[in-house]
Amino acid sequence: TKPLEGKVAIVTGGSRGIGAAIVRRLAMDGASVAFTLANSKEKAEAITAEIELKGGRALAIQADSADAAALQRAIDKAADHFGSIDILVNNAGILLLNSLETFPLEDFDRMFAVNVRAVFAGTQAAAKHMHEGGRIITIGSVTAERSGFPTSAVYSMTKGAVAAMMRGIARDLGPRGITVNTIQPGPTETDMNTDPHANEMLKGLIALGRMGKDREIASLAAYLASSEASFITGASLTIDGGYLA
Ligand code: NDP
Kindly report the protein residue whose alpha carbon is nearest to atom 32 of ligand 1.
93
Q: What's the rounded mean pLDDT across residues 161-188?
A: 99
**pLDDT above 70 as % of the chain:** 100
Provide φ and ψ at 190, rounded to 5°.
-145, 180
* Residue 223, CB-side half-sphere exposure with 13 Å CA sphere: 14
pLDDT of residue 93: 98
Q: What is the ipTM of this complex?
A: 0.99
The pick from 11, 18, 184 for probing ligand 1's pocket by mutation, whose C-beta has the most ligand atoms within 8 angstroms, reads 18
Reported pTM: 0.99
Residue 110 Cα to ligand 1 midpoint, Å, equals 14
Choose among 121, 236, 137, 228: nearest CA to 179.
137
pLDDT of residue 73: 98
The pick from 10, 11, 12, 15 for probing ligand 1's pocket by mutation, whose C-beta has the most ligand atoms within 8 angstroms, reads 15
> Which atom of ligand 1 is nearest to 187's Cα?
40
Residue 59 Cα to ligand 1 midpoint, Å, equals 18
Residues 6+ away with beta carbon under 8 Å from 192:
17, 95
Task: Assign 13 a pLDDT band (cuts: 50, 70, 90).
Answer: very high
Catalytic annotation, pick one of 35, 82, 155, 243: 155
Q: What's the rounded mean pLDDT across residues 14-26?
A: 98
pLDDT of residue 27: 98
For domain 8-239, the CATH architecture is 3-Layer(aba) Sandwich (3.40)
Q: Any catalytic annotation for residue 243?
A: no
> Which atom of ligand 1 is nearest to 159's Cα?
34
Provide φ and ψ at 207, rounded to 5°.
-55, -40
pLDDT of residue 55: 97
Task: Assign 208 a pLDDT band (cuts: 50, 70, 90).
Answer: very high
| Residue pLDDT, tens place only, 130-151 | 999 999 999 999 999 999 999 9
Answer yes or no: are the C-beta atoms of 48 and 27 closer than 8 Å.
no
CA distances from 61 to 13, 58, 159 (A): 10, 10, 25
